A and B are shown apart, each in its own frame.
Chain A
Amino acid sequence: MHLLEPRPHPSRVMRWTAPLIAVAATLLTGSFLFWTLGKPVLTSFHVFFIQPLETGYGWSELLIKACPLILIAQGLAIGFKARIYNIGAEGQLIVGALFGGGVAITTEGMDAAWIVPAMVVAGAIGGALWGAIPALLRTRFNASETLTTLMLSYVASLILAYMVNGPWRDPEGMNFPQSIMFGDSALFSILLEGSRVNTSLFITLAAVLLFWIFNAKSFMHFQIEVGGLAPAASHYAGFSAKQTVWFCLVMSGLTAGIAGVGEIAGPVGQLNLNISPGYGFAAIIVAYLGRLHALGIVLAGFLMALIYLGGEAAQVSLQMPYAITGIFQGMLLFFLLGSDVFIDNRIRRLV
């Protein structure tokens, strides 16, 4: 006999407490990890999760990392509801950055207010195009989007590598694989003096609002949700499955593409090989941790940003490899999926 049995009704309480349980389990296992590495547990904990938030600058850095994660996760969440698994947002981010970066490089030396908006539009188009390829392959040839989106991520990073090693390499960059540093007219303006927080923040803010309204009000969203929960009913109602695939993949590509522009016209300031520390993959976890809900994603985005900051702090203060971030991300997703099981199931009573 198995330890679990189905609940008569899915538990609403578990649906929202599962992320908290997952975070708690991650922290617990994380402490165990610190302990086995011979690091003082409390100090490590403090360095990883508290120290980054002790200064105003720390909070501003948190905001910078949370914004792209939230933006990408909003787009991904729509697809996940329809069971369309775009796991290649990283590639869509890169192509968005390439398109946006192209605008910045061709307008070099110009001073015009339209440059940044043009970069955002170009990035959105780039990301959407990179999302449209798997949509075409899925609707026309039935090819699984999970694998095609991921393969296209590798292709995107190689195109980026080609561009910054070849045509767009900074002639005065000592042969480093990077483009020129963008001028002020191709950068978002700084919002808070002394920090890196910039006006791209408003894009994420607007996206959260738009997706919140879209999720609550639009018929398209209803169609997507029915398609994910009950494909047969959706078919019977005459909803187009193909339309849903196109919408979800193009939309998630679009948000990832804009997030890419946010990086190159923000904290990074140029095209190079490190424009994203895996935001496209981390955003998948953010979307699930936020229960695919526009506001839940905001909270989850901040938590994930903290894990990034904690990883950086641990590298400096504890001499720990930055890769610890990936370990925490993986554990978090595992524990979340594990706790989610208890939404529909409960532990069998033995009596």
Chain B
Amino acid sequence: MIEHLIPILAGTLGAAVPLIFAGLGELVAERTGVINLGVEGMMLVGAIAGFAAAAESGYGVTAGLPAGALAGAATAMIFGFFALSLAANQAACGLALTIFGIGLSAFIGQHYVAYSLPGLKPIAIPLLSDIPLLGPILFKQDWVVYLSFLAFAGIAWTLAKTRLGLLLKAIGESPESAHAIGYPVISIRFGAVAFGGAMAGIAGAYLSTVYTPLWVQNMSAGRGWIAVALVVFASWKPARLMLGAYLFGAVTILQFHAQGLGIMVPVQFLAALPYVATIVVLVVISRDRRVLQNNLPASLGKPFLP
């Protein structure tokens, strides 16, 4: 059992990375009152852009992640134009972005189906990685995993302790008041949406250049939607989002270890676990309306025209 436990827990951290980046990005956008259901599409565009950049430049992941971030932010701007500048229905615009992103990424990805990338080697942090049990789990990971810790810390701190965080939350609670005081609500929301797109793009690029590392059409397989559900599960709090992402990382990684653990279930049933878990988690969190109501950004999903 214990010989399985360390690889499972260590793998969980990697499997959670796409959910952490995509989820944190969506969390920031939703805190400003914008719900972008296009995470899946932005992730896929980020995945192919990252993969293409990594393959063509020869710099691998170092080029792939920034390219994914840029591509994710750029596709988020399309959403921004329709949902923010024109104040169209946000949920439907997000859906359009997902359909568009699936198509666009498959279109570009046509040229990259046969490629494979080297991926990333884990970096063992001196001393810390020697701690029994915790060391190999936490401190023998690739650098993007460490980056995900930093992203969490940065976002949690910004939201809780800085003026910027306060402003973002204020806009999410009452765009009218923020506008009346003189803040450019639409521009700030644009910024938050672009940030969300960049984070989703990084999540996608991690999948295609590190986690898999291959380009496969539709490879995010619903992770973007799971990230959206995680934000609800987290009741818009970064720390709970991390918890949720690791929970889902564990569920995802379990299917690769099931046979070793002696679980004889068809692969498709194991592959369905994350989706079923998402439903269960949504049910659990939504059951108590007060928890949702108390944390829900008051203007979430409502179009705003100054």
Q: Which residues of A does B touch, CB under 8 Å?
A: 1-2, 4, 6, 85, 87, 137, 141-144, 146-148, 150-152, 154-155, 158-159, 161-162, 165-166, 281, 284-285, 288, 321, 323-331, 333-334, 337-338, 340-341, 345
Contact = CB atoms under 8 A, between A and B. Distances in A.
A147 B274 CA distance: 13
B59 interface: no
Residue among B101, B106, B232 with most chain A CB within 10 A: B106
A17 B41 CA distance: 28
Majority-rule SS of B interface residues: helix
Given A334-B82, A337-B82, A141 B268 contact: no
B39 to A, nearest CB: 12
Given A144-B286, A338-B82, A338-B86, A162 B93 contact: no
B107 A321 contact: yes
Contacts of B279: 137, 143, 147-148, 151-152
B152 interface: no
Contacts of B228: 147
Interface in B219-239: 221-222, 225-226, 228-229, 232
A331 B99 CA distance: 9
B283 interface: yes
Contacts, number: 145
B305 A144 contact: no
Contact of A327 (B103, B266, B282): B103
Interface of B: 37, 41, 78, 82, 86-89, 91-93, 95-107, 109-110, 186, 217, 221-222, 225-226, 228-229, 232, 266, 268-269, 271-272, 275-276, 278-279, 282-283, 286-287, 289, 292, 305-306
B51 to A, nearest CB: 15
Contact of B107 (A154, A285, A327, A340): A327
Given A85-B91, A326-B104, A337 B96 contact: yes
Nearest to A165: B268
Residue among A150, A327, A340 with most chain B CB within 10 A: A150
Contacts of B109: 323
Enumerate the 6 nearest inter-chain pairs by beta-carbon distance, A residue then B residue, closest first: A326-B103, A330-B100, A323-B106, A333-B96, A162-B268, A327-B103
A338 B105 CA distance: 23
A331 B41 CA distance: 13
Given A141-B287, A330-B104, A333-B96, 19 more contacts: A2-B306, A87-B95, A143-B279, A146-B91, A147-B278, A150-B222, A281-B99, A323-B102, A323-B104, A323-B107, A324-B107, A326-B107, A330-B101, A331-B100, A333-B95, A334-B100, A337-B86, A337-B88, A345-B87
